[in-house]
Chain A
Amino acid sequence: MTDARASLTADYLGQVKRKRLYGGILLILFAALMTSGWMVADGRNAGGFWSGLHRILDFPTEILSEAAQNWRNLPGLFIHYLPSLVETLNIAAVSTLFGAGLATVLAMLSTRGLALWPRLIPVFRRMMDILRAVPEIVIALVLIFILGGGPVPAMIAIALHTTGALGKLFSEVSENCDIKPVEGLESVGANWLQRVWFGIIPQVAPNWSSYALLRFEINIRASAILGFVGSGGIGYDLKTSLQWGLGKYDEVVAIFLLLFVTIMIVDHFSDRARARLVKGGRV
């Protein structure tokens, strides 16, 4: 009895020891990767971390002091940049709409028990994986070459990425939903579209809208960045103001503020809406 207990204790302690050893090794490995990684990144950067650290506040001070001097311009600048901001928001909204629409189709076609062509499920899954993996900037820059500047290349690029990203989330939700309503509808002779519309959509609508809202938040950021790299919206204005440099910093501050406030407002309302959609209660 005591022997058994003693060996049990020894076994347990041995296991604990081994676990600690593995944990320790992982920790050391991680620390080594982090330090060497930061050193490599530091070495390949144009300016070093330590030489730049004390300058980190220089640029914000510079632009803020200029904006403080010309604070009377700010309201006018806000109004001036409002159309660009609306364009950025439009790019995000339209691409979320189109992306969500395409994602719905792809998700339905790749959900087990619901797919029109069950054999093609892996094909549609792969399609979503690829759409998700292509960064927006790749498609946007290529499309700018073909379509010229403006909001459309960014819109298409973000919509394609959204299709992949939402398609995966949508199909995860619809995989988990109750298939009985679909069977019931099938038994009364409903066609595929009716089965999806009355059997699945009511079940998944809250979760899907919540994911689409989250995606909208992400897409606003993406559309601002794409504007900076290539085409329309407030990102492009930011780039031109920055290139101008000194003397236009009040514009930079106005754009920063507009972006910041918009993102905060959208995040706040979409947070609340999502909480309501998913939990059903008021938050």
Chain B
Amino acid sequence: MSMTATAPQQMLHTTITHRFAMRKRRALAVPVLIVAYLIYVFFAFDLAGLAGRARLDNGAILLKDFWSYKTHVTRDNRSGEVSVAVEGERKGTYPAGQAPDWVTLGAVTNIALPGGAHATYDGPTARLDIPDFGRVTVAPDGRQIVLTLPDGAALPDWISAAPNRVDINRGKWRFSMTKSRTEVFRYQPGWELFFFTIDSPFHGKSLGDMIALALWEPRLDATQPNIVAMANGFWTNRMWHHDQVFGALGETVLMAFLGTMGAGLIAFPLAFFAASNFAPARSVRLLLRRLFDFLRGVDGLIWTVILSRAFGPGPLTGSLAILMTDTGTFGKTFSEALENIDGKQVEGIASTGATTLQRARFGVIPQVAPVVLSQLLYYLESNTRSATVIGALVGGGIGLLLTQAIITQKDWEEVCYYMILIVLMVMVMDSLSGWIRRRFIKG
């Protein structure tokens, strides 16, 4: 190698070093830009203020409610009646004189609580025996609620006392007394009354008993076999409404199915007129293309707003909204598939004297069918998810139930139930569409 490198070599060397330096700078610029953008967003979204606004106690309630239920033991301080109700709901109330085994009703109501605690309603007075603390007495006195602590005890942070209300919160159970009512809440894991409500003859039976009842034990209700009665009891459960929930799931899948397939049926013939190799005229093709772009560009949100004005809330509106956007998407992809077909097959069919329709049927459709079908199936699956959201917008299907349950801000166990069902539904649709695609399209 001589010291005097030839000019072209020299130039090559400089250009390459220059390019490397450029690339290096560009490679560094990307992360720097992203970080700068994230810093901007940090302030734009007011993340610092978010910490102050966040209600973590709400989060704790929610997480607890997802997997547990509470039973209310309530004494109406006006009538003196004591009632026991799951989640404090009328539909979950035990019939008069009945209670779970940790409550004894009578002249004096005894309530056994977790952690060895014990509550007693003796007339209007409530006594609470709390281990490691002692006996707490709460009693109404005129308009006031009087709290008596054990001798020498200071007010702990888990008791809050106001002149007209006393609250005790021990995590696994809570107590509260106002002038009108005395209440103990006991939290227990599980979804109570998920299968049968209290009025059902099958309530509280163990799994073994249930199997025995279903298979060989005598009928509890003479008019129908036990297994039918069980199915009925479960299906018409008034606390969990399984019939309505599964109906809503069906409605959601229906919206996705009608929307996707309807869009496919409309888009497929139109795609021929929008494909450059089939379009009768350039103007028709351009017009259709713009139409497809328009349908896609007007977002599902806008379609739901416009359509629900005409058709009112419900699954039909949801189906039509999905149909509108997907007609645009399918029109585009189908016409692209049609443009990519092999012309030789069509020529071959044409050489036998086939008409236009026959050429399309035997020359074109077999080529595009796999693309079209797999697109349809893929969108069917993804629309099942969209239909949940659209259902919340148009008021139909599981999306509606979900938003309603969330708005009440207390039925979190139902929210959890719906979430699990939605995930399962989407996964089932996912594997179903995947299975059909593998089985029928890829051979």
Contact = CB atoms under 8 A, between A and B. Distances in A.
A52 B313 CA distance: 12
A19 to B, nearest CB: 12
B310 A53 contact: yes
A224 B310 contact: no
B312 A152 contact: no
Interface string A17-48: 00000000000001001100110111011111
A55 interface: yes
Contacts of A33: 257
Contact of B393 (A130, A132, A228): A228
Given A47-B314, A59-B309, A138-B402, 9 more contacts: A41-B251, A45-B316, A58-B309, A94-B45, A133-B423, A145-B409, A148-B54, A228-B301, A229-B389
Contact of A134 (B395, B409, B419): B419
A205 to B, nearest CB: 11
Contact of A137 (B55, B293, B315, B388): B388
B16 interface: no
B89 to A, nearest CB: 20
B262 A34 contact: yes
14 contacts: A41-B314, A44-B251, A45-B311, A45-B396, A46-B312, A49-B316, A52-B311, A55-B309, A133-B422, A142-B62, A147-B54, A148-B53, A152-B47, A224-B301
Nearest to B427: A133
Nearest to B63: A146
B316 A137 contact: no
Contacts, number: 184
Contact of B45 (A44, A132, A155, A256): A155
Contacts of B310: 47, 52-53, 55-56, 58-59
Nearest to B302: A256
Contacts of B300: 221, 225
Interface string B312-356: 111111010000000000000000000000000000000000000
Chain B contact surface mostly: helix
Contacts of B53: 147-148, 150
Kindly list the 8 A-B residue pairs having the minimum CB-CB distance in the complex, ordered from nearest. A45-B314, A46-B312, A47-B312, A45-B316, A59-B309, A133-B426, A52-B311, A146-B59
A90 interface: yes
Nearest to B52: A148
Contacts of B299: 221, 224-225, 259-260, 263
B254 A259 contact: no
A189 B374 CA distance: 43
A225 B319 CA distance: 16
Contacts of A46: 311-314, 395
B41 interface: yes
B50 interface: yes
B55, B309, B422 — most chain A CB neighbours (10 Å): B309
A242 interface: yes
A141 B316 contact: no
A133 B430 contact: yes
B399 interface: yes
A94 B311 contact: no
Given A146-B54, A146-B59, A52 B312 contact: yes
A94 B36 CA distance: 12
Contacts of B251: 41, 44
A52 B430 CA distance: 34
A60 interface: yes
B274 interface: no
A251 interface: no
A232 to B, nearest CB: 9
Which of the four size classes fits the interface of chain A? 35 or more
Interface in B260-319: 261-262, 265, 293, 296-302, 305-307, 309-317, 319
A94 B37 CA distance: 9
Interface string B30-44: 000010011001001
A142 B405 CA distance: 11
Contacts of A47: 310-312, 314
B406 interface: yes
Interface in B381-433: 385-386, 388-389, 392-393, 395-396, 399, 402-403, 406, 409, 415, 418-419, 422-423, 426-427, 430
A135 B255 CA distance: 16
A212 interface: no
Contacts of B2: none
A46, A60, A90, A264 — most chain B CB neighbours (10 Å): A46
B258 interface: yes
A237 interface: no
A238 B422 contact: no
B46 interface: yes
A227 B78 CA distance: 47
A14 to B, nearest CB: 20
A125 to B, nearest CB: 12
Nearest to A232: B45
A59 B59 CA distance: 41
A137 to B, nearest CB: 5
Given A41-B255, A94-B38, A221 B301 contact: yes
A141 B427 contact: no
A136 interface: yes
Contacts of B3: none
A183 interface: no
A151 interface: yes
B58 interface: yes
B99 to A, nearest CB: 33
A221 B50 CA distance: 24
A150 B46 contact: yes
Nearest to A218: B382
B435 to A, nearest CB: 15
A267 B292 CA distance: 13
A53 B316 CA distance: 12
B56 interface: yes
Contacts of B50: 147-148, 150, 152
B302 to A, nearest CB: 6
A22 B419 CA distance: 38
Given A146-B62, A229-B389, A34 B261 contact: yes
Contacts of A138: 388, 402, 418-419, 422
